[in-house]
Amino acid sequence: MSKGIYKIENRLNGKVYIGSSLDIEKRLKQHKQDLKENIHHSYKLQNDFNEFGVYVFSFDTIEQIECSKTELLVREQYYIDKYNSYLDGYNCCEYSVNPKYTKSKIIPPKPKREIFNYVKIPREIIYDKEMNDKRVMIFSYLCARRSLDDTVAFSTTELCHWSKLKPNYRDGKINQKYYEVLLLLSHYGYFEECPDFESCLLENTNSEKYRIVKLNIDKFEPNENFAMIYFDEIEKILNFKTELENIDIDLKRMSSAYILLVLSYIRVNLNRQTDKPLCCYRYIKTIHEDIGLSERYISRVIEILDKLNIVKSVKMKRIRYEESGASKFLTTPTVFADYRKLTKNLLGVVEIDKNYDYREEIKKQIEIIKNRFSKRE
């Protein structure tokens, strides 16, 4: 049994993953097993492993050392910095969580979101208008930060930075909105353990104090009635202003929280039956009534989702019909379909379905709707 620092390296592009262990051989064996089962905690490493295969990667010890666990983390941090494995590699944590090494204060681990490559947003969260419009954002954050023991360590400052917003503790501002959602989640039984969020609402500072919640996994991993959002989509949405900076589109006063809320609504209502188009269709007014976001913002979000190549949509033209000798028009809904469809191959690896075409799905759905309207005339 050897103690020290190890490296997993992609020999094609030179990217590495750095780790430390009290038993390197056992730890590397676990890495290999997780990668083969497509459940590795580093989504960056998992994606490249799925693309290039096991034979491209080397699993090596780079330093054996007899020391305490704290000293081991110091050496791990040294190699993370040396190989730049956080910014240009496979490490998903910038720091090895060691107060003796970090230049400022202890920074907790980056998200354990890579345990899964998507989050499940329960329908009851999406439709719960008692919660504010940050509800899907907060739920996604908790899933992204979930550690192996189903706990999440966070501060309001860090949470705001994750969501690309500036912390603000004043009444009615972002800090309070986040705590309001967390408070309701605690009332709804989404946490097994959590701090007193009512007291947190009274904070008069942008706190960097880390709090810990333990997730109720039965709530966070529903088996039905949920919207699935992939982490690469969340990254796009969190960085939507950068993603769309060269596109002529109105982004003023737009929030990634709005985009996630509307996306989750569309996803939870998408048809998944293979004998029907993989679409959903809704009136903008209906979406407003269901989730509480204004029709104006919903329309703008739909355009953003289209430009981000996440969800494509077509606003149907009004259908003209004759009644008592007069021409009248039926208002028609907007039809939505995912830009891509992900599926598992025979090896259980998630990949893009090359046979899927959102244009064909939307076309089939529009024809079905037209036929229904024609029967009503």
Q: One digit per residue, pLDDT tens: the chain, 377 residues?
A: 789 999 999 878 889 999 999 999 999 999 999 998 888 989 899 888 888 777 678 888 999 888 888 888 889 999 999 999 999 999 988 877 643 333 333 333 333 333 337 899 999 999 999 999 999 999 999 988 887 788 988 888 888 988 988 888 888 889 999 999 999 999 999 999 999 999 988 887 777 788 899 999 999 999 999 999 998 899 999 999 999 999 999 999 999 999 999 999 999 999 988 889 999 999 999 999 999 999 999 999 999 999 999 999 999 988 776 777 777 777 889 999 999 998 877 777 778 899 999 999 999 999 998 887 766 55
83 and 194 in a single domain? The answer is no
What local confidence, expressed as pLDDT, does residue 106 receive?
A: 31
Domain's final residue, options 233, 253, 269: 269
99 and 138 in a single domain? The answer is no
What local confidence, expressed as pLDDT, does residue 377 receive?
A: 53
Alpha carbon of 104 to those of 95, 99, 159: distances in Å?
11, 8, 18
Domain's final residue, options 215, 247, 269: 269
What range does the domain containing 278 cover?
Answer: 270-376
CATH number where 35 lies = 3.40.1440.10
What local confidence, expressed as pLDDT, does residue 148 receive?
A: 73
What local confidence, expressed as pLDDT, does residue 98 receive?
A: 44
153 and 178 in a single domain? The answer is yes
38 and 49 in a single domain? The answer is yes
316 and 334 in a single domain? The answer is yes
229 and 324 in a single domain? The answer is no
Joined tokens for residue 55: 């034979």
Q: 211-215 and 151-154 as β-strands: parallel, antiparallel, unpaired?
A: antiparallel
What local confidence, expressed as pLDDT, does residue 97 receive?
A: 63
Q: For the whole prediction, is pTM greater than 0.75?
A: no
Q: 57-64 and 4-10 as β-strands: parallel, antiparallel, unpaired?
A: antiparallel
262 and 125 in a single domain? The answer is yes
Distance of CA 86 to the CA centre of its chain: 19
223 and 290 in a single domain? The answer is no
Domain's final residue, options 221, 246, 269: 269
12 and 66 in a single domain? The answer is yes
Q: Which residues have a Cβ under 8 Å from the Cβ of 56 and sit 6 or more positions away?
A: 10, 11, 12
Q: For residue 330, give the H/E element and its range.
A: strand 326-330
54 and 94 in a single domain? The answer is yes
Q: Helix count (H) and strand count (E) of the chain?
A: 15, 15
164 and 256 in a single domain? The answer is yes
Distance of CA 142 to the CA centre of its chain: 10
What local confidence, expressed as pLDDT, does residue 308 receive?
A: 97
Cα–Cα distance, 67 to 252 (Å, whole number): 54
Domain count, the chain: 3
What local confidence, expressed as pLDDT, does residue 375 receive?
A: 62
Burial class (CB in 10 A: 0-12, 13-18, 19+), 80: buried
64 and 126 in a single domain? The answer is no
